[in-house]
Amino acid sequence: MLFLTPRYIKLGRQFVKDARKLVAYKRDLVSPEVVAEVEGEIAALERAVASRDREAVEKQAQKLDQVCGKLTKPVPDAAWRENVEVFLVAIVIALGVRTYFLQPFTIPTGSMQPTLNGINFYEQKDPPPNILLRAAQTAAFGRTWVDIIAKDNEMVVGMQEFRSLLPFVNRTPLVNFGFFTRTELITDKGNRYVVKESKEPLMRNMEMREFKRGEPIIRGYFDTGDHVFVDKFTYNFRRPARADVFVFTTAGIPLLHREGTPSQFYIKRIGGLPGDTLQIVPPKLLVNGEIAQEPPFQRVMSAKDGYRGYSNGPERRGYDQQVFVERGVFLGSPEATYTVPKNSYYALGDNSYNSLDSRFWGPVPERNIMGRGVLVYWPFTSHWGRIR
């Protein structure tokens, strides 16, 4: 009976079985002589098992184990190959997750404040703190300090944006591309200063005047925009809901995207669904004749905790994007109403007075929607966590 079979017999039979599998797997990778030698030792172990001689089985098993080593010769640079395989698998998994499930997105502007922060500049009178404190602030808050001092009596006359491959290097030698945005300030005296920030927030926060020698041209720090994860999966199974924070591409939206130029990604809140009739009577948003009831809309309309309610147009002062229209084309007055077309969505920024949204360029086609903003994963501020 099987349960009365001695353990060394069971192990011997299992060893024979495993050795045969190994020969079948490696047969095409080794010489016929090695295959014949291993098969001979397998046959010898089978005879020892049949004889039920424990000493012979153990001795032959050790010999077979040594011979099987010839089937598994060390692969040259095995460690490098294994690391490369792991790296490539990680890249494939990351690309799959990014393509079908979650994609990171950075908030570039203040159109969703205070729900989500864009890039903000805070002017300072004192020089930046020591390098250790700056490094800690960069890791936690994405904070970038800038302290540009005028070398002459000069004025900034141009800005040129470029990229660096390395985060702590202004320019990567001999390379014009990279992951980290920089802006070079060019003055009328020919001096050039590099700021580790993109061009747009600099244009919003720099004074365009003549600076005296030794005077700060710009001094303070930039806090990075919120970095969010966009859920690209959920909308495959349910339609976008009113009040969702969503990300979409500008491609094909006539008043927002010019043909032949790269499209951009925007993040806003869905203010209206297909068929909804909208109206803005500041500070209220009306949906189908009723004040919007969803909690995010109620929060914006409360005009508390940094919110100001909904408006019919932008406020020039402090506006965070180029205003290419003087007033809203859609819902540009308290009397105006707008019905969202089929297969389209109406996008509104929570910072209504400083948001370029559907009031200016109309609805977002359903095909443009990338996904739903679900989580702020960095920096580690009060916004960290689920998006409200």
Report, as an integer, the average pLDDT of 63-72.
Answer: 79
Does 103 map to a domain?
no
Domain of residue 60, residue span: 2-71
Is it the case that residue 52 has pLDDT exceeding 50?
yes
Burial of 225 (0-12, 13-18, 19+ CB in 10 A): buried
| Residue 343 and residue 248 in one domain | yes
Does 94 map to a domain?
no
Q: Compute the distance between CA of residue 158 and CA of residue 190 in angstroms, rounded to an integer.
A: 10
Q: Compute the distance between CA of residue 304 and CA of residue 306 in angstroms, rounded to an integer.
A: 6
pTM, whole model, 2 decimals?
Answer: 0.71
| Residue 236 and residue 368 in one domain | yes
Q: Structure tokens of 298?
A: 């109620």
Report, as an integer, the average pLDDT of 312-318.
Answer: 67
| Residue 197 and residue 54 in one domain | no
| Residue 327 falls in which region: left (phi positive, over 0), alpha (psi -120 to 50) or beta | beta
Number of structural domains (the chain) is 3
| Residue 232 and residue 374 in one domain | yes
How much is the mean pLDDT over the chain?
Answer: 85
Does 109 map to a domain?
no
R_g over Cα of the chain: 33
pLDDT per residue as tens digits for the range 200-243: 888 878 888 899 999 999 999 998 889 999 999 999 999 999 99
Contacts of 200 (CB under 8 A, 6+ apart): 108, 109, 119
Q: Which residues are paired to 323 by β-bridges?
A: none
Does 107 map to a domain?
no
pLDDT per residue as tens digits for the range 240-289: 999 999 999 999 888 887 777 788 899 999 999 999 999 999 999 999 99
Is it the case that residue 325 has pLDDT exceeding 60?
no
| Residue 201 and residue 235 in one domain | no
| Residue 187 and residue 239 in one domain | no
Helix (H, G, I), strand (E, B) or coil at 198: coil
Helix (H, G, I), strand (E, B) or coil at 381: coil
| Residue 275 and residue 304 in one domain | yes
Q: Find the CATH number of the domain harbouring 63.
A: 1.20.1270.10
| Residue 199 and residue 255 in one domain | no
Burial of 267 (0-12, 13-18, 19+ CB in 10 A): buried
Does 184 map to a domain?
yes
Is it the case that residue 67 has pLDDT exceeding 90?
no
CB 371 within 8 A of CB 235: yes
| Residue 214 and residue 150 in one domain | yes
Report, as an integer, the average pLDDT of 163-175.
Answer: 76
Contacts of 7 (CB under 8 A, 6+ apart): none
pLDDT per residue as tens digits for the range 89-112: 777 776 676 677 888 888 888 899
pLDDT per residue as tens digits for the range 11-42: 888 888 888 888 888 788 788 888 888 888 88
Q: Which residues are paired to 249 by β-bridges?
A: 265
Is it the case that residue 152 has pLDDT exceeding 50?
yes
| Residue 161 and residue 260 in one domain | no
Q: Compute the distance between CA of residue 360 and CA of residue 109 in angstroms, rounded to an integer.
A: 17
Does 310 map to a domain?
yes
Q: Find the CATH number of the domain harbouring 340.
A: 2.10.109.10
- Of the candidates 222, 241, 271, which is a domain's last residue? 222
